[in-house]
Chain A
Amino acid sequence: GAGVSQSPSNKVTEKGKDVELRCDPISGHTALYWYRQRLGQGLEFLIYFQGNSAPDKSGLPSDRFSAERTGESVSTLTIQRTQQEDSAVYLCASSLPARADTQYFGPGTRLTVL
């Protein structure tokens, strides 16, 4: 079956613009995770959804970052007023309920802020 998909695969934007990154989880996966990977670094956890609820948003780097999820489907990560330090690969993962030990990763969106 289809895996986790993310769009766009690449996004180049100018500093100060807003961007939206999309994640389509595997069907039936109620849990969804966003991570960020800066160049040469490990993955940094941003936010987690169970269904359309995000119990803890403390991993989001600043108030310019927000995320939402429609039902148990698509999630959108929005970065407002992008800064150069936002340049990174943004990865999404999904899992079955209570199966955070088995997360399936998407291919990521490479964001470049000029």
Chain B
Amino acid sequence: AQKVTQAQTEISVVEKEDVTLDCVYETRDTTYYLFWYKQPPSGELVFLIRRNSFDEQNEISGRYSWNFQKSTSSFNFTITASQVVDSAVYFCALLGSQGNLIFGKGTKLSVKP
């Protein structure tokens, strides 16, 4: 079975704090893709990152970084020095065998000033 688990339903931090959003996935495929999306209050889905299973290097993009660990089937997302504009629901996803994206239930991040 293919599955994505985001155990954190809601997280609240104060601006400038660092925050890590957890994502654990299950798949029997040896080749797979993982994703993070942001959904701000306006509702649109904003693509953040795609990572394939061949590449275990961690990635940094500005204040965002991703830690991919195949050994623990995790693909965690860290926001450094969070800002109010980071407030959103964040979804982790796995590309399924049909080409569909399998999403976790999302983590709602609230960043307070």
- Count chain A residues whose beta carbon lies closer than 8 angstroms to a beta carbon of B: 24
Cβ–Cβ contact B102 & A45, under 8 A: yes
For window 91-106 of chain B, which residues contact chain A by CB distance below 8 Å? 91, 93, 95-96, 98-106
Known: A91-B45, A101-B33. A43 touches B99 (CB 8 A): no
Bound form: Cα–Cα A107–B42 in Å: 9
Cβ–Cβ contact B98 & A48, under 8 A: yes
Cβ–Cβ contact B105 & A48, under 8 A: no
Whether a CB of chain A sits under 8 angstroms from the CB of B43 is yes
Bound form: Cα–Cα A101–B98 in Å: 11
Known: A42-B91, A89-B43, A105-B44. A48 touches B103 (CB 8 A): no
Whether a CB of chain B sits under 8 angstroms from the CB of A112 is no
For window 63-107 of chain B, which residues contact chain A by CB distance below 8 Å? 91, 93, 95-96, 98-106
Cβ–Cβ contact B106 & A105, under 8 A: no
For window 36-72 of chain B, which residues contact chain A by CB distance below 8 Å? 43-45, 47, 50, 52
Whether a CB of chain B sits under 8 angstroms from the CB of A59 is yes
Whether a CB of chain B sits under 8 angstroms from the CB of A108 is yes
Closest B residue to A44 by CB, please name it. Answer: B103
Known: A42-B91, A42-B104, A101-B33. A108 touches B98 (CB 8 A): no
Bound form: Cα–Cα A107–B6 in Å: 24
Query: In the complex, what's the smallest C-beta–C-beta distance from B2 to chain A, in angstroms?
Result: 11
List 16 interface pairs A-B (beta carbons < 8 Å), by A numbering: A33-B100, A41-B106, A42-B103, A42-B106, A43-B91, A43-B93, A45-B98, A45-B101, A45-B102, A48-B99, A100-B99, A100-B100, A101-B95, A105-B47, A107-B44, A108-B43
Beyond the given A45-B96, A45-B98, please list 11 additional residue pairs across the A-B interface where CB-CB is below 8 A.
Answer: A31-B99, A35-B101, A41-B105, A41-B106, A42-B91, A42-B103, A43-B91, A56-B98, A101-B50, A105-B45, A105-B47
| Residues of A in contact with B (beta carbons under 8 Å apart) | 31, 33, 35, 41-45, 48, 55-56, 59, 89, 91, 93, 95, 100-103, 105, 107-108, 110
